[in-house]
Chains A and B, each alone.
Chain A
Amino acid sequence: MELSVWLDAAAQAASEIATGSLGATSTTWEGRPATTLPGDLCGVYLPLLSDELALQFGFLATFVVCAKLSRALLGIAPDEELESEADVFDAVGEITNLVAGGVKARLVGRCTVNLGVPLALQGRVFPASGSRSMQGVIRIDESDVWLVMTGTPRSPNR
């Protein structure tokens, strides 16, 4: 299955979570820009293991946007501070988990998907050789979030 199918499923799931759990009023899928990922992003990668591919799904944004989305998830007022950076990444991890669950639900009947445990990061990740990567931007209200799908083919002899 093409990486673009996974990314499109992630965009749909992210839109659903944004307007539901995060209370966003609008989302726009900006699609796949020709530019590379900005270097100042942070967020969470979560493994998605399918029959054919070992995928890493990334949900990335600036720290300011990550904090804003975390406050939305937790129902914390915009002028209230979160306890710590770790709390922001924990909440973004849960948002990523919700989106990944939506991806899995959208691909039922097409492939089997197992979800892994999220890993938070700051900075840029470079796919290793043999990996393919695709990314796109979803605008959640006024905030840009980068959705990344990086896939490595699984060995038939696994």
Chain B
Amino acid sequence: MKILLVDDSKAMRLIVRRTLRQAGFGDHAITEVSNGKEALDAVRADHPDLILSDWNMPEMNGIEFLDALNAEGISVKFGFVTTERTPEMRARAEGAGASFLIVKPFTPEDFKVALASILG
């Protein structure tokens, strides 16, 4: 499967990649971009199967990115990997169609639980 990783922090993208490997999902093709605007272009060009996105990013944040996907009628599995963990944010994410929300800091187990049904 093709996974698109969206986070403005290079450090966090590295950590997410490593955690995916530790969770047993290291065989998938992962591409990276650093904000929602770049991610939207990447989705149009590469059609990923799964998007893992941060929430707070410059240019276009994660929820604006998800709203933009919805507005274009693009259907793709989408999950947030974010420090945002309030009930309001979780409800906002689910309302926009996010499949899951992984809270930073996270463990490989958190990724296993969230992604098992999607990545097998």
Chain A residues near B (Cβ < 8 Å): 17, 20-21, 70, 73-75, 87, 90-91, 93-94, 97-98, 100-102, 104-105, 108, 112, 115-117
Contacts and interface: CB of A to CB of B under 8 A. Distances in A.
Nearest to B105: A21
Interface string B96-114: 0000000111000000000
Contacts of B70: none
A117 B85 contact: no
A135 to B, nearest CB: 22
A97 B61 CA distance: 15
B118 interface: no
A97 B9 CA distance: 10
A93 B34 CA distance: 14
A73 B85 CA distance: 20
A115 B56 CA distance: 7
Interface in B37-79: 56-58
Contact of A115 (B58, B83, B103): B83
B11 A97 contact: no
Nearest to B85: A105
A91 B56 contact: no
A156 B54 CA distance: 31
> 4 closest Cβ contacts across the A-B interface?
A101-B83, A91-B11, A21-B105, A94-B9
Given A97-B104, A101-B84, 5 more contacts: A17-B105, A73-B11, A87-B10, A104-B83, A105-B86
B104 A73 contact: no
Interface in B1-60: 8-12, 14-15, 18, 56-58
B83 A70 contact: no
A66 to B, nearest CB: 12
B103 to A, nearest CB: 8
Given A90-B10, A97-B83, A115-B83, A20 B105 contact: yes
A123 to B, nearest CB: 22
A47 to B, nearest CB: 10
Given A97-B83, A101-B85, A101-B104, A116 B9 contact: no
Contacts of A70: 11
A90 B58 CA distance: 14
B9 A90 contact: yes
